[in-house]
Chain A
């Protein structure tokens, strides 16, 4: 059952991309900014989770909740300090700032703890589950479950809460929303908080799944998640989820066919093709409630 095994591999990678891609897409939907520091919030999440588990001896669920709380604060802080003043400046200024913030976070982390990798503890043991001949570890299933739960939770927040409504309104037309008495600043802060919390959760999940974390780990997953967000149609929440899963499956497929060295190239070729032929992405066209 080789294909089933590969499918499981692909979905696991894809759900991590999807979680990160959600943060990109939400922020883009609301402030039209590609937040390149997002991959580094993901990295910080991995380290916060690591210290929560090893130093504070928290279990998996408390650790992931604590991480999400801290990274959402970091996200709000980044927006407040670096992006808010640039909201009305040319977009290139904000983009350059985002890259600056990204490098700042990476190298501050290296300065504080060094560049050597850390190793996540094994929380679920080596228990292996066999499904139709494919083998998977318990934590892979837990990871999938958590990812799906978080995505459902996000859908609920966006569609059925007041802040979600505000987010959709600001994304649709910020000026009109302001006239209706919605605090645009607060809504944007909330968006950054939600996106960063998801990135933090993705960081912990990544650590558990791949074991090794280091200060530059956010770079490639961050870029891939960006590709996933563009693929699904940047600004669209379902698009980010589908884009993430699709990218994970495509990458796994490429390796499964024996072209593992082309894996990353394929991801970026897809990005270029989509930008050329479908600039709106898969879900970017007729989705009205962009967030």
Chain B
């Protein structure tokens, strides 16, 4: 017996949903999923109840302050579902997407998840774009035994409980995690840039920045490099000149600045003004057109950042995706779109191997994913439900993002 439970917070919503359901007069077309007494209800959703169809929920930020992330991911997932359905679906099952907006809000993300899991009875959920909104679904996924695949939540705690070290059994993601970026950046600095000494300039008000910096420092030191300076700033700072003067004095081979574009843009500009000409490296927080506006074309030469993918990657799989996305949405897909697309394919692969739309079987298959070729790289899911995959290194050339290389995890 699969008994589904709801948290208190979601209950009023459920009541309302049930009320609307009654008003609508059994809106789902009498598939018998609502009657708790009937035998079908005791079997998990999908499969037997709705033949030839697998329902996937999208819980994404379609409005609110990070709506550009969620919209891109939703576009990517929709494109993937459309392609899969054109090829005859997954083992004959048509994919039906149930798209919901969580308004970039943690509480609303939980509400949407409750609705998708209990009312729409989806087999799996794709979402959310940010780590915070994804974490709001952890408990619900465990209680309802429905797998959640986040396209872009990079915080380690999304799939693993940080206190106990236990893996959340139904949480997965399609992107790499924060510490991995720092490691890749260090490998790139050591091997490609031939750096022996590095300075690290950290945004001490962001866990993201601190996480990247810590793994960069560990990797760089382990390979015999020296960290000559470790300095910090906080978000909303505008004057970095005095600290940068200090860093320049130490003469590092490479400067690592794993922050967000608003401060990084100013840091790069001011560092170049002060006469630092060496390479500057960062993470995916750099990925915004505002960075170019703030720093200027000239200053950005000889700067690099790690990202999930590059639309300039000559790989035919990437180029096919870029073309299909451009045809449908009229713009170049960003990293969020590529990961939304990949999340759908990752799920499709698992559903195929599970051979059913049973959420528990899908979760099990997801955990066993191995060497699956996707747009953002070939991935295997490790024991912590994180994909092991390559990262792209992007280089700025005259203000344009160009694909430099791919770094494989070791």
Contact = CB atoms under 8 A, between A and B. Distances in A.
CB-CB nearest 4 A-B residue pairs: A255-B242, A119-B293, A9-B241, A252-B242
A29 B262 CA distance: 38
Interface string B289-330: 010011010110000000000000000000000000000000
B204 A6 contact: no
Contacts of B299: 126
Interface stretch (B116-124, B229-237, B368-376): B229-237
A256 B262 contact: no
Contact of A2 (B233, B243, B245): B245
The residue in B243, B266, B272 that gathers the most chain A C-beta atoms within 10 A of its C-beta is B243
A90 to B, nearest CB: 34
Contact of A260 (B233, B272, B293): B233
Contacts of A252: 241-242
B296 A260 contact: no
Contact of A119 (B204, B245, B275, B294): B294
A9 B243 CA distance: 10
Interface string B231-273: 1111010110111011001000000000000100110010011
B273 A261 contact: no
Interface string A114-129: 0001010010001010
Contact of A210 (B232, B233, B238, B293): B238
A239 B397 CA distance: 48
Interface of A: 2, 5-6, 9-10, 12-13, 117, 119, 122, 126, 128, 135-137, 210-212, 217, 220, 251-253, 255-256, 258, 260-261
Given A210-B266, A260-B232, A261-B232, A128 B239 contact: no
Contact of B238 (A2, A212, A256, A258): A212
Nearest to B234: A261
Contact of A220 (B204, B231, B232, B236): B236
Contacts of B98: none
A262 B249 CA distance: 21
Contacts of A258: 231, 246
13 contacts: A10-B242, A117-B262, A119-B294, A126-B273, A126-B299, A136-B273, A211-B269, A217-B238, A255-B243, A256-B243, A256-B246, A258-B246, A260-B233
A137 B232 contact: no
Nearest to A213: B238
Contacts of B231: 258, 260
B262 A13 contact: no
Contacts of A136: 273
Contacts of A6: 242, 245
Contacts of B262: 117, 212
A135 B238 contact: no
B274 A5 contact: yes
B242 A256 contact: yes
Given A5-B245, A117-B262, A212 B294 contact: yes
A211 B245 contact: no
A9 B242 contact: yes
Contacts of A117: 262, 290
Contacts of B272: 126
A128 B275 CA distance: 9
Given A9-B239, A255-B246, 20 more contacts: A2-B249, A9-B241, A9-B242, A10-B242, A119-B293, A119-B294, A122-B296, A126-B273, A126-B296, A210-B239, A210-B266, A211-B265, A211-B294, A212-B262, A212-B266, A253-B242, A255-B242, A256-B243, A260-B243, A261-B232
Contacts of B265: 211-212
A39 B152 CA distance: 39
A252 B273 CA distance: 17
A253 B293 CA distance: 30
Interface in B97-146: none
Nearest to A128: B273
B49 to A, nearest CB: 46
Contacts of B245: 2, 5-6, 9, 256
A267 to B, nearest CB: 12
A135 B275 contact: yes
A220 B242 CA distance: 18
A253 B243 CA distance: 10
A5 B274 CA distance: 8
Contacts of B274: 5, 135
Contacts of A135: 273-275
A219 B71 CA distance: 33
A212 B260 CA distance: 14
Nearest to B236: A220
A260 B294 contact: no
A84 B233 CA distance: 41
Given A135-B275, A137-B273, A210-B266, A261 B290 contact: no
Interface string B202-245: 00100000000000000000000000000111101011011101
Contact of B204 (A13, A217, A261): A261
A262 to B, nearest CB: 10
